[in-house]
A and B are shown apart, each in its own frame.
Chain A
Amino acid sequence: MSSIAEKSIDLKIEDDILIARQIARKEMAEIGFGSADQTRMATAISELTRNVIKYAGQGVCHIITEVSSAEIKVKVEIEDYGPGIADLNKAMEDGYTTGGGLGAGLPGAKRLVNDFSIESRPGLTKINLEMCRPNV
């Protein structure tokens, strides 16, 4: 037995970065994630939704929370319909950037969550993040 809630945030302007990470924090707090985990996920979302606005122009962020008697879980799916990431392996390397940033966005976000997957082709880039903790 578990309950699932989903929120979707359209990513179109810079302010949507703030909205997405605020909602994630709030939803996670509600199901019992601690403030370290909230901060980790909100920071990862901040990195990744910025990429969407900057490189793809627009996209969407889904935040799915799931509570069962055994565990609490948050899944975040961020997708955009931009040009895609030409070299995924390179994009996951520390310090690699095409946008004049620090190159910490993708690898940094990956380190903050338990589960990270990315697929990218022209017209669709999809990133999945997941965190899971025992329900105490």
Chain B
Amino acid sequence: MEIPILKLKNILLTSIQSDMTDDDALKYQSDVVSTLEKSGSKGLIIDITAMDIVDSFMARVINETARMARLMGTRVVLCGMQPMVALTLVEMGRELIGVDTALNLDKGFDKLLEMIEEGVE
């Protein structure tokens, strides 16, 4: 399954779908970083609204993707985490998502623009 990576002005917008295999997730990760390099985007939005399961593997892939993008000088916002997903991640007892987050795509977009403008490190 190919995850579309959309370019909107200087931002890359990706929306991860719920039922990805591990291979899909790793392909998504490498697609994102190579598209970042080619497009020179200043921001990356990882939208997970459609995900109803985030296990430790998927959380690691999301986390690592965000860190890779940060290393390349891109601001990152993760948005759209479903309440049940947040609940499950916390109950599993691990700090799995180490990235700036927003409630939904709308708020995530605003937050990312702010971060880019302010040059927040």
Enumerate chain A interface residues (CB-CB to B < 8 A). Answer: 14-15, 17-18, 21-22, 25, 35-36, 38-40, 42-43, 46-47, 50, 94, 101-102, 104-105, 107-109, 111-112
Contacts and interface: CB of A to CB of B under 8 A. Distances in A.
A50 to B, nearest CB: 6
Instruction: Give the 4 A-B CB pairs with smallest separation, nearest first.
Output: A108-B92, A104-B56, A39-B84, A46-B55
A39 B85 CA distance: 7
A112 B56 contact: no
Contact of A43 (B21, B23, B53, B93): B53
A101 B96 CA distance: 12
A75 to B, nearest CB: 20
| Size range of the chain B interface in the assembly | 20 to 34
B92 A111 contact: yes
A105 B59 CA distance: 12
A14 B22 contact: yes
Given A101-B56, A108-B56, A43 B22 contact: no
Given A14-B23, A22-B19, A101-B57, A39 B52 contact: yes
A99 to B, nearest CB: 10
A31 B84 CA distance: 19
A112 B57 contact: no
B27 to A, nearest CB: 12
A47 B55 contact: yes
Main secondary structure of the interface of A (DSSP, over half): helix
B120 interface: no
A25 B52 CA distance: 10
Contact of A112 (B54, B92, B96): B92
A108 to B, nearest CB: 4
**B23, B56, B57, B85: residue with the most chain A Cβ atoms closer than 10 Å:** B56
Nearest to B24: A14
Contacts of A112: 88, 91-92
Nearest to A14: B21
B116 to A, nearest CB: 30
B9 interface: no
Interface string B78-93: 0000001101100111
B94 A102 contact: yes
